[in-house]
Amino acid sequence: MVRFLREFVPRLWHMPQSGCVICHKRLRMRSMLCPSCAARIPWITDVHCRTCGKPSSCSDCPRMRRIVVRSGSAVCYDALMRDWLIRYKYKGDARLTSLFVRMMHRACGHIADRIPTVVTYVPMSQERHEEKGFDPIYGLAQGVARHMRAPLLRLVDRHRHTPQQSMLSKAARLRSVAGAFAIHEHGWDAFCRWAKRQRTEKVRVVFVDDVYTTGSTLHHCAIPVRDASAKAIQFEAVTWAR
Ligand SMILES: [Zn+2]
Ligand SMILES: [Zn+2]
């Protein structure tokens, strides 16, 4: 933990910003977060369940057949992280994109692998995208793809808008996203060309999302991709919070 803080937190410090992006406190150094905001981040340092990235014991994964077999998250989704996410996702504070991406570098380390990889993301519905004018998850996926040095392709479309998963009961979450996703034709063609060029038997698709709640959104995103692919795919995920 101490080693991690020593190595990682300075990277959040040295950013070309004039004040703390969270509390707007003026800072002497060119940095992104003030020391007190940085100290309040509930990092996930010990992963208990490699499948879902949970830092404590997990009763769900051993009894479920997950398509997404491995997931890593940067932080625990507590009340403070919920506030930060609301600022980013619902109030459109785009300065948080690079902060969140930096935080997610840690999560990428949880799923590091040598299999040829494509990064993709959980998309918004078209109507929600038009209403908002930006796609916050796409912003995170761009940063993750750059960090993983992997191509970023949109593989699925969201047919219909589904309520924010973290706001629903567990049973409602499991029901709400079933059948909500389908292949995104343009990205899919690019993926097939890319997969053909890889000499390995298996390729890896990493989904990016903001919060891993039950894993049902990722599961239902992966189904059309798995069903359409001629090549074996290892599905994994990177999320900002868990
Ligand atoms: Zn601050
Ligand atoms: Zn688990």
H helices of the chain, in order, are 2-13, 35-39, 79-85, 96-110, 126-132, 136-148, 170-176, 185-197, 216-228
Does position 227 have pLDDT exceeding 70, yes or no? Answer: yes
In which region does residue 236 sit, left (phi positive, over 0), alpha (psi from -120 to 50) or beta (all else)?
beta
Ligand nearest to the CA of 13: 1
Residue 158's DSSP bridge partners are 125, 181
Question: From CA 191, how far away is CA 184, in angstroms rounded?
Answer: 10
Q: Which CATH class is domain 42-241?
A: alpha beta
pLDDT of the residue at 166? 57
CA of residue 236 to ligand 2 center, whole Å: 13
Model pTM score:
0.87
pLDDT in tens, 33-85: 999 999 999 999 999 999 999 999 999 999 999 999 999 999 999 999 999 99
Domain locations along the chain: 1-40, 42-241
CA of 81 to the centre of ligand 1 (A): 13
Among the bound ligands, the one closest to the CA of 39: 1
Q: What is the rounded average pLDDT of the residues 92-118?
A: 90
Q: What is the pLDDT of residue 176?
A: 65
Compute the distance from residue 60 Cα to the ligand 2 centre, in Å.
Answer: 6
Quote the CA–CA distance of 228 and 150 in Å, as a whole number: 21
User: 178 falls in which pLDDT band (50, 70, 90)?
Assistant: confident
CA distance 39 to 48: 23
